[in-house]
Structure 1
Amino acid sequence: MKQYIRNYQFLKLQKLVIVSILIGFLSAFLGVALKKLTEYYEEIFAHQASINPLYYILFPIFGLSVIYFLREYLFKKKENKGIKEIFESTNSKSQNLPNYKISSHFINGLLTVIFGGSTGIEVSTVVASATIGSVAQRKQNVFKEYKTELICAGVAAGITALFSSPIAGILFALEVISRKVTRAFLISNLIAVLTAFGLIFILNEKPLFNVIITTWHLKAIPYFILLGILAAFVSVYLTRCVLFFKVQFSKIKTHYFKIIIGSSILSISLLLFPQLYGEGYHAIKALIVNPNETQLTLSILLTFIGILILKPIVTSATLVSGGDGGVFAPSLFIGAFLGLLVALVLNTYFSANVIPVNFIIIGMAAVLSASIHAPFTAIFLVCGLTNDYTLFFPILVVCLISKYTAKMIYPFTVYTYSPSLAK
């Protein structure tokens, strides 16, 4: 009898290893494919819009309309709820992520961003790759109790593919989705992220941001702490914006009115600030080209303030009018602009002599940490984006400060909020 149990456990472990490799490969392949397609087409459409601003009006309404018709006639009239879909699945024995979620999030995430929707493909990738894990779990009865672990394996592999950071992948799955470690979690997630990392190594995927960080100074720590506190406030503003728009748009019964209102907000904002187009990574790349040479003028000050005010609004408008995405890319975008603005103000008015590029990178991590309440994910994700760990210690300090300050101001994220909890 003992031998039979041992054989069964070994067979189960064998199957878990094989399915984890499969989940890791498929999730990473999906993530890389979506990233490459989005980068390629977003650049084309954003360039066309910069030449002819009329496209800033046409693209958002066209993209959101196509997503609406696909949802109505192809994807069973089901709305994409983002990461909350994963929570609903992991918290229920009977509720699963249906197979079509892979294609619906892939297509809708792509269409949202390339046509100017001010969000990112991260959540689309996370839900699609979580569905790969869910489908694999359902195919074998032996994995009945490993539902959360295999969903997390898909999520971790998807994050690894997008940000070239296996540690960020596992930490996101742990901090945001699972919130507990089991032996099966460690085995499946480690194998999945190593498989994903192997694929992106073979494909020679480069870090998203090509930035040189040389050093940081102890005298800058008080300024980093200030940045962490400010990041907490803007992240809460982002969260409250998304939740406010959800409530207001839920009162509109005709979906096409939502599209018209949402795309109007988006179009006007894009005409004012083209940097808000799509994921915004192109704008971050422009910031880090030579931030030390940037001088704080009234024009730059007003532009940065306008972008920081409008980004949460256009992100919310994109999501509630049918766009696919979440707060990952918007948080990184807001953090980069906030970080550079703080550095420029300190250097111009207080002669602080801080290094602007450090504030851009730390700002990205701080706002992300505060927005999703996952500081360790934010640390390794941003270090993976730049392939540089020089700022690890200040990022760690600032991410913890921003998270706990944000929780003191407002205890929910867009993932954890529900009306019943807020009462």
Structure 2
Amino acid sequence: MNKTTLIKKNYQLIKFRKLVIVSILIGFLSAFLGVILKKTTEHYEEIFFNQATINPLFYFVFPVFGLSIIYFLREYLFKKKENKGIKEIFESTNSKSKNLPSYKIPSHFINGLLTVIFGGSTGIEVSTVVASATIGSVAQRKENVFRQYKTELICAGVAAGITALFSSPIAGILFALEVISRKVTRVFLISNLIAVSIAYGLVFLLDEKPLFAVNISTWHLKAIPYFILLAILAGINSVYLTRCVLFFKSQFSKIKVPYYKVVLGSVILSISLYVFPQLYGDGYHGIKEIFLHTNETQLTLSLALTFIGILILKPIVTSVTLASGGDGGVFAPSLFIGAFLGLLVASVINTYFNANVIPINFMIMGMAAVLSASIHAPFTAIFLVCGLTNDYTLFFPILAVSLISKYTAKMIYPFTVYTFSPSLAK
């Protein structure tokens, strides 16, 4: 072996070691941030939601208070710069000069937390994704040797953050691949596998329980036509969610006085929460409640109208939350819409067509189908929902509905809230 080859080999070994070390750091920091944000949000959301349940006046107080704090933080602490969600990551990965500034970590952490605990009808998932992506971006800028691996290290942060939230390392890697990177490289595999392994190790040590404790026994081939129906409806609902978000953001952007957005958004959000408390925050409390009473649910006209009202209003209040300055995205809303849609479809076909399908199966498949169609990432949706329940019994039905819903949505409207831009729509 000549001297030049030896030097080159040693350089590659040093670079590999540094990549391993930085991937471990990104994985730990991103997972730690994700777990802290998740635990803090769950704790305070439960406290504030219980207070609002006891005294409905708080449905009118919390949203304006939370959105106002976010507004003043953005004005006076975060340099008057708005959080754009996952589009910020795309802007960074598609440009050599643009980077995710380090203040995005506290900005998304604080604003995401405040949005959800004070009733904003979204979730912390996108806040976690952007904050953890920023960890990867900052790490990438610390060493010249990593400058060419910007996308891979940002994806490592994203994958670790998703792993921490949903206890699913496969979903973490697939989301980073399907939504952010869209290509597999050797460095992507090394950095992301290490990051999610560290993240999952932290989740395991903390003994994180599945978000939804459900008992799935089986599924039946005779239900396949109804699965297809659910998938098509999920695709349509996801397009409605996407169009709502884009419409309300466009309309609110025309309001010249920034604080008027907060006031208008708070009024719409407060009235909606008063009518349908299930819309409060990330909505996971609403999903847990219907999971608990699935077998007792008897379809009546009032219950059907309640479900339809929730399905119509949820995309609107999510959109208003985001358009008026709240921090979040469509992850939690998609899961929420899917669960209620699945239960409504199962209840209708059981009541009027004697289908005898299992409602809880339809709720879980609905969650995966709407999420898949909303972000155009079916494989992420499959493993994420299976991770949420820690059960893979419905893997093949979920695979089918996730693919059908995605392509149904793409046929109707080719964009997601992440990929839309006015220039592409023309």
Give the alignment's TM-score, normalised by structure 1: 1.00
Instruction: Output the amino acid matched with 1:314.
Output: V
C-alpha separation in 2, matches of 1:77 and 1:139: 26
- Give structure 1 stretches of 5+ with no counterpart: none
Residue pairs, 1:165-314, within 5 angstroms = 165-314=168-317
C-alpha separation in 1, matches of 2:85 and 2:176: 15
Of 96, 107, 110, the match for 1:107: 110
Question: What is the aligned partner in structure 2 of residue 96 from structure 1?
Answer: 99
Deviation at 1:120, TM superposition (A): 0.1
Alpha-carbon RMSD: 0.4
- Give structure 2 stretches of 5+ with no counterpart: none
Question: What is the aligned partner in structure 1 of residue 422 from structure 2?
Answer: 419
Deviation at 1:7, TM superposition (A): 0.7
Give the alignment's TM-score, normalised by structure 2: 0.99
C-alpha separation in 2, matches of 1:246 and 1:269: 18
Instruction: Output the amino acid matched with 2:65.
Output: F
Mapped pair 1:144 → 2:144: no
Any idea what the Cα deviations from partners look like across 1:261-283, whole Å, max 9, x if unmatched?
11111001001000000000000
Question: What is the aligned partner in structure 2 of residue 19 from structure 1?
Answer: 22
* SS of match in other structure, 2:69: helix
Question: What is the aligned partner in structure 1 of residue 72 from structure 2?
Answer: 69
Mapped pair 1:160 → 2:178: no
Question: What is the aligned partner in structure 2 of residue 39 from structure 1?
Answer: 42
Deviation at 1:128, TM superposition (A): 0.2
C-alpha separation in 2, matches of 1:175 and 1:55: 40
C-alpha separation in 1, matches of 2:19 and 2:5: 21
Of 366, 375, 399, the match for 2:402: 399
Any idea what the Cα deviations from partners look like across 1:320-350, whole Å, max 9, x if unmatched?
0000000000000000000000000000000
Instruction: Output the amino acid matched with 2:306.
Output: T
* SS of match in other structure, 1:149: helix
C-alpha separation in 1, matches of 2:268 and 2:418: 24
Instruction: Output the amino acid matched with 1:344.
Output: S
Question: What is the aligned partner in structure 1 of residue 327 from structure 2?
Answer: 324
Instruction: Output the amino acid matched with 2:187.
Output: A
C-alpha separation in 2, matches of 1:50 and 1:33: 26
Deviation at 1:298, TM superposition (A): 1.3
Instruction: Output the amino acid matched with 2:10.
Output: N
Deviation at 1:2, TM superposition (A): 1.0
| Divergent runs of 4+, >3 A | none
C-alpha separation in 1, matches of 2:132 and 2:384: 18
Any idea what the Cα deviations from partners look like across 1:155-205, whole Å, max 9, x if unmatched?
000000000000000000000000000000000000000000000000000
Mapped pair 1:10 → 2:33: no
* SS of match in other structure, 2:308: helix
* SS of match in other structure, 2:33: helix
Q: Percent identity?
A: 83
